[in-house]
Amino acid sequence: MAQETGTGRVKRGMAEMLKGGVIMDVVNAEQAKIAEDAGAVAVMALERVPADIRAQGGVARMSDPDMIEKIKAAV
């Protein structure tokens, strides 16, 4: 049996898991907890929110790994 990646079944399954929820952009653990309490199904840990990135020249950087760990611990 050949291994497949990104199959239709996987894509439909991911969409089904996220149905009825929202993915929130967060920059700290407090925002992640608020997003979770508000019903977010997932959070994206960002260095800055997209509006701030665009306002400051449009260069996104990798989030601090320590911040990501704090967010994971909070939710």
Residues 14-34 have pLDDT tens digits of: 788 777 788 899 999 999 999
| Alpha-carbon separation of residue 14 from 11, 17, 37, 73 (angstroms) | 5, 5, 22, 23
> pLDDT at position 60, please?
82
> pLDDT at position 1, please?
63
Instruction: Please state, rounded to an integer, the average pLDDT across all residues of the chain.
Output: 87
Tell me: pLDDT of 4 over 80: no
**Partners of 45 in the beta sheet?**
26
Across 42-71, average pLDDT: 89
At which residue do the structure tokens 């089904």 appear? 16
**Partners of 24 in the beta sheet?**
43
- Is 65 or 59 the better-scoring residue by pLDDT? 65
